[in-house]
Structure 1
Amino acid sequence: MTRLRLDGVGVRIDQALIVHDVTVDCAPGAFVGLVGPNGSGKSTVLKTVYRAVAPTSGAVLLDERNMLRELTSRQSARQVAALAQEHSQNFDFTVAEIVAAGRTPHKNRWEFTSAADRRIVADALDTVGMPAYADRAFTSLSGGEKQRVLLARALVQEPSVLVLDEPTNHLDIATQLSLLALVRSLGITVLAALHDLNLAAAFCDRLYVLRDGVVVRTGDPWEVLTPDLVAEVFGVRAHRSVHPVTGRLHLAFSEILDRDEKAPQERELATEGNI
C-alpha cells in the first residue's frame, strides 16, 4: 500500500491564491476525508493529486517520490486513479467500453484490449456489483449506476491510491452508503472530498477541514467535528451523539447561525481583545 502526502501545497490560478500551504498525510490504506464549505479548496487540492492542476508551491508525494518531478503522467496514472466531480454524462459507449478505458495507462498507444484486460474489466464490474450491465449503454444508467461504472473504470487502473471528489453527489441514501462502504472495503489509500459530515464521520479515519484554502483542523472525526468547529466553519449549530448501530460520531443540525454570530471560541477571543 502507498502513502500519499501533500507537503505544503499551494495553488495559484489567474493570480488568485486558491489553496495555501496545505499539508495532508494519508497513511497506507487509510480513508482520509477533506471537508469544508463550498469554495474552500477541496477540489483544487484533489486535482493536484491526479495531476489536473500543478501546485505552484509544495509537493505531492507518493511514498516520498515527488509526482511531478520523479513520475511521468503514465506512471502516476498507474498508481493514482480518480473519480472526479466533473465528467460527461453522455458517453456514447457501452459500460464495458467505459471501464476498459481505464486500462490506458497500462497499454501502448496502439495496443488492443487483451484477454487479460477483459478479465480485469469483468472483475472490476463484479466488484462494483455491475457485471450484468457490461453491454448496456452508459447513457441508459441511473446516476448511482454511472458512479459505480466510473468507479470500476478507476479500479481497472489497479491504483494504490484512489481520489474521490464528492462521489455521493445526487445519489440516494442507500447508494451513498453502499458506494462508500465498497470504497472502504477495497483496502487501498483513499483521499475523498465529502460534503456530508455524517458520511465523513462514518467512513473516514482522519479528516482535514479546509476553509478559504487553508487547513484549519485535522484529526479523527471525534476530534475534528466539534460543535464549535462546525459553527465556526459551516455556520450551523451541531449536536453530537453516538450512532446507535455503528458507534461512530453522528451529528444533528439545527438553525443556521447569523453571519455576525461568532462561535463560542471566537467570542472568547474577542472578549480577550485578540480579534
Structure 2
Amino acid sequence: MPRFAANLTMLFTEVPSLHRPELAAQAGFDGAEVLFPYDHPESEWEKALSGLPLALMNTPPGNWPAGDRGFAAVPGMEATFRDGFLRAASLASRLGAERLHVMAGVAKGPQAEQVYRENLLWATQQAPDLALTVEPINPDDMPGYFLNDFDQAARILEDLNTPQIGLQFDVWHAARIHGNATTVWATHRHRISHVQIAGFPSRNEPGGGGFDLPALCADLDASAANVWVAGEYRPSRATVHGLMWLQALKSRNRQIGD
C-alpha cells in the first residue's frame, strides 16, 4: 500500500518550517518531503522530523531568485553540480531521505543532454546506495527547465539503464505538459518511483481534473512498489482544513488491509 507524505515546503506554511513535521504527523501523514532542507542545520531537521520519515528532498537549486533551478544539465557548471550533489547526498544520508531528486536546471540542446547524462551517471557512482529521481517540470511554471517532457525523461533513463534512477511523477506537471496525466501514468508507470499529487487545474487540494487517485493507489497496491504519494499543492485554506483527500485515501487503505 502507498504511504502518504506531506510536502512541507508547500503545506503547513501557517507555521515555520521546523514546526511543520509535527503538524504533518498529527494530521495523519506517514512521512514528509522537504524540497530544500539547506536553510537549517542538519541537527535541527533531525530534531524536527523526530522519526517522521523523509521521503524526498532535492539537490541544491543555486540562487533561486536569480533564476537558478539546479545544475545537472547546465554546461560549464559541472563542478557546481557535483559539489552540490555531494552536499545533498551527505544530508540525505544523515536525515534518512529515501530519494534525492536531481534538479536539471535551465538549459537546452544536445550539449545540455550530454552533460545531464554524464552528471547522472557520476551521481550514481558517488552515492550507489541512494535512490535518485528525475522530474519533468512544465515550462509555464519553470521556463527553460531542461527536463520538460515525460517522453524525453523516459528516453534518457532507458539509455542510462540504471535502476538507481527513477521517474518522479507529478500529476500537475504531467497534466500541464501532456494534457492528460492518466495517459502519462499508463505509459511510464514502470519507471515511476515517486508520486506527487495536486488538484487540476488549480493545483489546490488533490482531486478532480479527470485523474483517478484511488485507481492510482490500487495500481501501486497491485505492483507492491515501495512508492510514496506526496501531497504537493497550494492549500486553498489552512492546510489542516483541506485534508479530506488524505482521509479518504487512507480509509481506502485501511479497508483493503482489513
TM range (shorter): 0.3 to 0.5
Larger radius of gyration: 1
TM value normalised by structure 1? 0.35
